[in-house]
């Protein structure tokens, strides 16, 4: 599975959009991009995933560049409850183990 | 209803003891996992079971033994506990197949003294 690089930390004002970048320059054609988050002391929570096309669900949007070497998770209207560590994970479609490899993630602090 | 539950939430024990952590999921998933989060907050996969069969064992000491009595349960037994075993242990589950998200339990904080 390809390695990902994320900023260590970011701040966002409450009510504004939070844009969390992720670099995955060695991603291969059959690898998905996943985003999870971990709110303090809780279990990780799935947010969204995608392969090539941009994706949107009730929690967030995922924008994947055309070359697939980077992506951005967008929380359209961040709230204080979105303060968490956000993990960008790349996993191969051929991987049948389901293993998720977590990096250090980005600590997002949403401020009033 | 809690999708993935773990018991106990906190576990404090002495070195050398044997302990178990239980995990249950009511999502009808056929794959379950154990992850360990150490003091530096790194989350790492330990085991994965699919339909009660072990499919991942990530170089975990053999003092750790997962047991899956049925598809809804994956328990973690730890023998001869050591100080370095102190961590938060998370159970997770998913459906088999690509692109299936994992649902995590609330975690069990194990402290070995």
Report chain A's C-alpha Rg in angstroms: 13
Are A42 and B106 within 8 A, CB to CB?
A: yes
- Is the CB of A98 less than 8 angstroms away from the CB of B96? yes
| Predicted confidence (pLDDT) at residue B99 exceeds the cutoff of 70 | no
Average pLDDT over residues A25-44: 91
The confidence band for A1, taking pLDDT boundaries of 50, 70 and 90, is low
pLDDT band at B50 (very low <50, low <70, confident <90, very high): confident
**From the CB of residue B29, how many other CB atoms can be counted at a distance below 10 Å?**
20
- Residue B60, both tokens: 């975990």
pLDDT band for position A93 (cuts 50, 70, 90): low
Interface test with B, best of A35, A100, A102, A103 (most B CBs within 10 A): A100
CA proximity to B42, closest of B90, B9, B77, B3: B90
Task: Kindly tell me if the per-residue pLDDT of B22 is higher than 70.
Answer: yes
| Residues of chain A numbered 76-105 and touching chain B (CB < 8 Å) | 85, 87, 93, 95-102, 104
CA–CA dist B59, B5 (Å, integer): 25
Angstroms from A52 CA to nearest CA on chain B: 13
8 Å CB contact of B44 and A102: yes
Strands of B1-113, DSSP E: 4-7, 10-13, 19-25, 31-37, 43-50, 53-57, 64-70, 73-78, 87-94, 103-104, 108-112
CA distances to A43, A63, A76, B89, B98 from A31, rounded to whole Å, are 24, 15, 26, 27, 10
Which range among A35-49, A60-74, B94-108 shows the weakest confidence by mean pLDDT?
Answer: B94-108
- Can you read off the two tokens belonging to residue B71? 């598809």
């Amino acid at each position: 599975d390809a390695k990902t690089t994320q900023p260590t930390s970011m701040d966002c004002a409450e009510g504004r959009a939070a844009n969390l970048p992720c670099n995955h320059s060695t991603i291969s054609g059959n690898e998905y991009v996943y985003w999870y988050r971990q709110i303090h002391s809780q279990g990780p929570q799935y947010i969204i995933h995608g392969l090539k096309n941009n994706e949107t669900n009730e929690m967030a949007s995922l924008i994947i560049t055309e070359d697939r070497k980077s992506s951005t998770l967008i929380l359209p209207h961040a709230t204080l409850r979105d303060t968490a560590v956000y993990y960008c994970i790349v996993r191969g479609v051929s991987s049948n183990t389901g293993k998720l490899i977590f990096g250090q993630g980005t600590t997002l602090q949403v401020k009033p | 209803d809690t999708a993935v539950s773990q018991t106990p939430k906190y576990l404090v024990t002495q070195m050398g003891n044997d302990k178990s952590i239980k995990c249950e999921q009511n999502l009808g998933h056929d794959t379950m996992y154990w992850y360990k989060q150490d003091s530096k907050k790194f989350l790492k996969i330990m085991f994965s079971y699919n339909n009660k069969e072990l499919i991942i064992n990530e170089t975990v000491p053999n003092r750790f033994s997962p047991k899956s009595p049925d598809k809804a349960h994956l328990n973690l037994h730890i023998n001869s506990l050591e100080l370095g075993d102190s961590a938060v242990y998370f159970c997770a589950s998913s459906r088999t197949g690509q692109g299936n998200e994992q649902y995590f339990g609330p975690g069990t904080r194990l402290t070995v003294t």
